[in-house]
Structure 1
Amino acid sequence: MTTKPESHTLDAPGATLAYDVRGELRDADEGRPALLLIGSPMDAVGFTTLASYLTDRVVVTYDPRGTGRSVRTDDEGAEGELTPDRHAEDLRQLIEALGVGAVDVFASSGGAVNGLALVARHPGLVRTLVAHEPPAVRTVPDHEQAWAAVQGIHRTYQSQGMGPAMAKFIALTMQKGPLPDGYADAPGPDPADFGLPTEDDGSRDDALLGQNLLGCCGYRPDFDALAAAPTRIVIAVGKESEGELASRAGVAIAERLGTAPEVFPSHHGGFLGGEYGQHGEPEPFATKLREVLTPSPSGA
């Protein structure tokens, strides 16, 4: 099966979505459905290496609205906030446009939150969802501190710009264990320590900080809908991510679903092979994903 992507566009309400197909859609069937790889706000580029190890499947990637090639045309433009439910409707439209029936989905980070929203709203479209470290921080035991920290990052972005806000965001993602009381009120790290700009350029159109941060991290999964869905839901966490906020959220969601999380190689970006200058363990990550997507004969 060829791994060279064929690019397409899809008109959606308020956006034009760009997506890529590796392989022939006619080759997808119930035994080996098409595999959709999604992130947020990460675009399709981030899955380039992972897709190269999954040549036995038809693989579909896309750029979420407001990122990469998927241009927003709504009245709010690039500064309007987006919700997982909005992304879920984009994913519904994309899956329906593929015309191959239910798909498997590997969803990373914000994409995992959007994947949970998709299954809650349109469960018949997804056979198996592997949700890798969904940062829905209001599910963790220290949710008050976590949500306050996220809101503080957004306020910093609005008042000071990308550098100071991203420095706070990076520090939050690196924090191990429960957040102490007052965490959100502590001064943030120096942006220069992370190679970030210290001056505010006035823009407020960052895909993470401006468009997706509050909607993604503040999302409350519909556990009743997820429990009732025919979709097989697998929550995944990184071996090296234990104690980090996105991993802890994944563990909390798995507990609410009555399952145990699957431990994948590496860290939050364990599938990356140099994209965005980050490296994980993409080959063993792909092996683990292929294993998880193949249920045992007992259906467990």
Structure 2
Amino acid sequence: WRMRDAGLSVMILDRTDSQAASRVAAGLITPILGKRLKRSGDWQELWPVAEEFYRQLEQRLGCPLLQIRPAARWFQSADERELFERQCRNGAYDGLNVESVPSGKAGPIGACHGGFTMEPAGRLDVTVYLERSRAEFCRQECIRQVEVDDADVVLSLTGGVELPRLGLSARWLILCTGAWGAQSLWMNGVRFCPCQGEILRLRHPQLDLDGTQHHRKWLCPLGDGTSLAGSTYEWERLDLQTTSAGRQEILAGLAPILPEQHEVIEHHAAIRPTTVDTWPAIGVHPTYPQIACLNGLGTRGVLQAPAAAQLLLNHLVKGELIRPDWSVSRWG
């Protein structure tokens, strides 16, 4: 989208992997994350860019994509509550709308230590985003369903790239290959650290919650009597198989939230394209600048992707520097 908006001619080469992380992701946008209750990195910079991008795309595609609702985080211990209160005193959440929920007033959540609500937060409907974007790209005849590997790429003497098998030539080839990026020889300097994760979809007609609920795991109501629930993290077993252990881990983590009557109606696994330092990997090959990379978006891709794409575009077209902590050059 960013490149087409800049007036560039684009051809998307997509192998249409139904188990790609982007096709399984819940699309959550959460400002406060992790065991240490830290504000999501660069939230104040990234959130306005992401919100503007998705709102503009809603107008172009004629459908809702971004749902903004407060999210709730429920403490697991008195120590966790104390950590939250200390973060508040230190100004860690300045600029966010954060409200404490006292102990014993956790509503439908069985969390005796209370918690807090945070906004803005929400969810991108990733499935609709991908489907409607693809339909528009098909209408514009700028997408092809095909798998490309390193052997297909020929560096042009004029400084561009050619893909003879596909009859294509271009000024740049941008690799957005997700978790499989680690297998590309063009970007073997990027220190990927893929992470497998499992996610469930549950049916529970009696549960009435507004916004994503975070406890040991998270539960995201979809408004139709079902919710997405997740997720697991596995760095050793990098396959696409769902497991009973993963299912039980998610359900056990949500035990204080879920009613007795609930049904698992979907169970998916995918591999997140994360890096060793969890930041995106964007930039160009150190020797062949016609080969570029936009990858490593991991668990915060919905928040980071609009800014990352704009940074890469500005680097390619205007020669602007990419922020060092996101650049592929940070690994030498």
Scaled by the length of structure 2, the TM-score of the pair is: 0.28
Higher share of residues assigned strand: 2
Q: Which has the larger radius of gyration?
A: 2
Task: Give the number of the structure whose residues are more often helix, by fraction.
Answer: 1
